[in-house]
Amino acid sequence: MNKPQRIFITGASDGIGAGLARYYAGAGSTLGLVARRSELLHTLADELHCSGTVVHVYVQDVADTDGMAMIIKDYLDRTGGIDLVFANAGVALPGNILAGDARPAARVFQTNVTGLVNTLIPFVPIMVQQRYGVLVGVASVAGFRAYPRREAYCASKAAVRTFVEGLRMDLHGTGVRAITVNPGFVDTEMTRDARQRPLLLSVDQAVRIIASGVAHGRDIVTFPWPLRLAGPLWRLLPEGIVRVLVNRFPLW
């Protein structure tokens, strides 16, 4: 694959999304960057302009279906096409389930699931017309199995994995690819409150692995590599054993 030049990234104000923006920046690149924190997005855009990158900043909540359709139309009107999309925005709010409060879990699903479909689906017609393009859905190894206090997050990432798998089936033969990315622990704001972060990677390490998976045409990118082996085994374990293990070795 040639270096993609027209790239749209949600969750670009911080963490992995900002790292992806820096990785794909450079003369000839036109980035569309989406998040809610305007100041962080504009500071990043100023930094990237210095390398000759064209940056379109969109201060937008990914959970808003109409708002996302509008900014994607604006981006496509400006660029005339698209090479690569990262549906990366996500939140991992702790559940408040025992207190009977559904709002944190609802917000997790709105951002991680509705936000992802709001990002990927509007690009499908133009990519199919181009007979070219890559759609990336950022899931998580947390989507392999439920985890206490983060059940909504785990369920949302399982939904992302299944959705992107189906997208690959829909797009078969069209020339458009859909990739599922399953990171383990990456050193970002999202994971700083974890009690332990086994096999932790830096943002730069994670971004290089994701970009390499995109460049090599992988369907699924799970990292770090020990989790590619451990993930399927973890899914096969009986629930009773998993319940004992996650309560004995809590990550949150």
Ligand X SMILES: NC(=O)c1ccc[n+]([C@@H]2O[C@H](COP(=O)([O-])OP(=O)(O)OC[C@H]3O[C@@H](n4cnc5c(N)ncnc54)[C@H](OP(=O)(O)O)[C@@H]3O)[C@@H](O)[C@H]2O)c1
Size of the site for ligand X (CB under 6 A): 32
Binders of ligand X among residues 25 to 44 (CB under 6 A) are 34-37, 40
**Long-range contacts for 235-242 (Cβ within 8 Å, ≥24 apart)?**
235/144, 235/145, 242/145
* Selected binder of ligand X within 16, 136, 154, 155 (CB under 6 A): 16
Task: Map the footprint of ligand X across residues 201-230, applying CB under 6 A.
Answer: none
Question: Residues 24, 58, 75, 153: which is the catalytic one?
Answer: 153
What is the nearest approach in angstroms of ligand X to the Cβ of residue 160?
A: 8
Q: Which of 122, 137, 199, 211 is nearest to 168 (CA)?
A: 137
Cα(149)–Cα(105) distance, integer angstroms: 10
Output the smallest distance, CB 145 to ligand X, in A: 14
Task: Among 5, 7, 9, 13, indicate the residue that binds ligand X (CB under 6 A).
Answer: 13
Residue 84 host element (H or E): strand 84-87
User: Quick one: 90 or 95, whose CB is closer to ligand X?
Assistant: 90
Among 47, 61, 151, 165, binds ligand X (CB under 6 A): 61
Contact pattern from residue 88 through residue 127 relative to ligand X, giving x for each residue in contact according to CB under 6 A and a dash for the rest = xxxxx------------------x---x------------
| Least distance (Å) between residue 231 CB and ligand X | 12
Residues 102 and 176: their CA atoms lie apart, in Å, by 37
| Residue whose pair of structure tokens reads 């206490």 in the numeric block | 148
Say whether 132 is catalytic. Answer: no
Tell me whether residue 82 is exposed, middle or buried, using C-beta atoms within 10 angstroms of its C-beta: 0 to 12, 13 to 18, 19 or more. buried
User: What part of residues 131-190 is at the interface with ligand X (CB under 6 A)?
Assistant: 138, 140, 183, 185-186, 188-190
Q: 156, 138 in Cβ contact below 8 A?
A: no
| β-pairing verdict for 30-35 and 6-10 | parallel
Of 43 and 129, CB closest to ligand X: 43
Helix axes 38-49, 15-24, angle to 10 degrees: 20
Q: Which stretches of the chain bind ligand X, using CB under 6 A?
A: 10-17, 34-37, 40, 61-63, 88-92, 111, 115, 138, 140, 183, 185-186, 188-191
- Residue numbers annotated as active site: 153
